[in-house]
Structure 1
Amino acid sequence: MLPGVIVDERIHLPKLERDSPVCISIYSESRGIIKGPVAVGRCLMSSDEMISSNMKGKGVHILHYYQDELWNFGTRETVPIIDASKILTPSNSEQELQQSKTMGAIEVPEILSDTVAELNITEQDEVVELPPEEDNKTEQLEENESQEEFLRKAFLYALRYQLPEDIKFPLDVGQFYASYLLKSLPEGRKIDMKKTKYKKFSTFLQEVNQTAGDGEWFVKVLSKKGIDSIVDINLQHPEVQNAAPLDSSNSSGF
């Protein structure tokens, strides 16, 4: 939808023809980053038509997006995150802007998959406010157990109840965290990895295996080119088999 497209003195709309291919990235002004491309599609209007419509209506027909079935079938790589200051500066000339928009002109840092997941979660949390009574209830529940204890329970529950029967490996660590663990949390509860001793979900996975017992393990993680992927899951582990459903009214703190 064109109302979601940013066009200003720093971001110039490129010359586009109807039906031409286009990629889409996400700009976070508060964080000063650009993430993407997160989607590709074809233009439903030319750039001239977009401008003449006052940037209203449908601009792009999305054909492929980050973490869809096509991504899941492929290499499952994470999208790059770029320092926006390298691209969006008021002093840049039109030529400099066009040059900086090419991926070859940008040094893209290696980003761990769980960092991307945490970024998505944090941005969502910033726009969701709980009513005062719900917020107080959440604080009281969190006082009953540490973030680390709750994270472990949610992890075991996700392994036991949330994974599909036909799950395919390798499974991106960030995808497991965002698609299975976080979505299993009871209403009013959340996990802030930065407030735990682990800081990153990949670190938690390393440590949780160390507490699985002699000769036991929960998940096997493979690191390749800075990306962590789960390659196997031990669903027969006693703690996984005995994982209790998460319930916000549970007396143990859920």
Structure 2
Amino acid sequence: MFKKPCANLKTSAPLRGSDRRKLKQRVISEFNVSNEVGDLLMPEGIQSQKFSTHLNEPGLLYLSSEGDPLWFTLGKGSDALIPTVYTLWKEPNLLPLLTTPAAVVPKLVGGADLMIPGVVQSSAEFSQDQLVAVAQYHRGAVLGYPVAVGHAALSSIALKQADEQDAKGKAVHILHAWKDSLWDMGPSKKLDVPDPRPIVTLEANAHAEADADAIPTVHVAPGVESTDVQLNSEPVETSREEGPSQHAGESQQNQVSTASLPPEEVSSYLRDALLQAISTTIASQSPSLFPISASSFWSNYVLPARPAQISGSNGDVVDTSIVDIKHSTHKSVKTFLKACAKEGLLKLKESKGDVVVTGVFPQNPAVVAHKPYRTLQSVEIKKEKAEQRERQAKEAEEKKKGEIHVVELLKPFGDTIAWFVSAEKDTQDLYTLADVRQILNSYIEAKQLINAHDQQYVNVVEDDALLRAISIKGQDMPDFMKRDDVIKKIQRNMQSWYEIKTEGNEPVRKKGEMVPISVVQKMRQGRKAVTLITGFEPFGLDAEELAEELRKLCSSSTTVSPLQGKSSGLEVMVQGKQMKVIMTYLISKGVPKKWIQGADMLDAKKK
């Protein structure tokens, strides 16, 4: 929503004391906080400021006396208060919290929504469209501070179901994120995210219920490693006076109740695990799975199907590891399987003093009546997927670091200058095509140039500045045309520039149209093939170094010579058909594939 700076930003004005008190009462009522926290979140000296987003959506900002944005409303006629990240750092548990891997955070800052596969944890129940916060996921008994706020795309129950089914789609529609253009409006914009907050689990928190400085409490789900914390649907509680970095350096040992279960309950949980395995995992297997040894059947199917979370009689979370055959009434796997075989759940065969499972019965009434639940295996699979996505995202980020970034730019020129002046834009600045499109859209709406009969068309004849900006000498201009055609004509009349960014260097801007590196194969005398490379200089590649490295890679002779018929530029020639090697080399040097002419031909040959 705040991917680009706000438009039509009005002058800020201080709120009257009565208006400020009304807003404070709204915060206390809507977000269920104390009077003291209300003063913290809606402080004295607060100011208001009207604005429009880059999508022309109107809104109202509430700023601190220093100028940091604390709250905002969004949409015509809407007065729903939305806290900014600045506010959420003051009171991190103001909203239900979802966590996501570190690699996803830059994408949220860039304007992306949070997708279902990107959710690792959730701290409380919430409904669809409810405001929620998003934080970075951290291993250990800690909880990150919010880095984004948005509307939940689906309820917490629906999110859990979608996650269990590995469904795709959006989890949160992000409205505002740390380091976006709204964040950058504040003088505190250089602040980094505070260190994660420690979490006290159920057992440790039992001794601190009366402590006014109690820190966040979560339930630990069995099956998560001892260094991890899995948040369930219980709300996170924290002190309302606590600052953003309080307790930041402390560590808290992750604890799970060691309360034991009666052997009868352990046996019941193991039976449930068998029913779960038969109705889900084993039902999808081929009949060739059988016969299978008792030990393999037990370790591969029954144990992974144990429930991810078990509660004791007092409601405490119990370590799932105690749900084992030694703690049951059966005491041995063989005895357990024989009892299940008598019940008609599976079929066994004696073999050399042991038993072998030769089949299961999915149509048994107990299996049919069984309701599937979240298992230890599903928790582990989800965690592995999240870690894999994070690794892949990090690899992609690392790969991008060395890439040469090319941005095509446009500068007001000739008859387009008057139009930029009319649009109140700087005529000496450089713009991307997306910027020009946004300026045109705002201009059309401001000047009311949309055709009344067809919304796709713009009445260009009604505005002299716009008509001049799209005019082409010797051509008659129609009274109206489509927006895309208007953009193309404005682009044609502007001056072409380009910007090249490389890691660790200042961006270089040059006038002219960016031309891709040309890699072509030609046949010379005697039907000898050569590969020619030109246009590499703008990408910071040296001709002699290029020739020397390609000579080694291709095991061929190379030469460097001036371009024929041109006053500048060099050509590197490599003996033989070496397009594939040269393409790979150029990409490894950071040249984007789209800026190598001939790459498409190579891809077509592969297909």
Normalised to the residue count of structure 2, the TM-score between the two structures is 0.18
Normalised to the residue count of structure 1, the TM-score between the two structures is 0.37
Largest Rg, 1 or 2 = 2
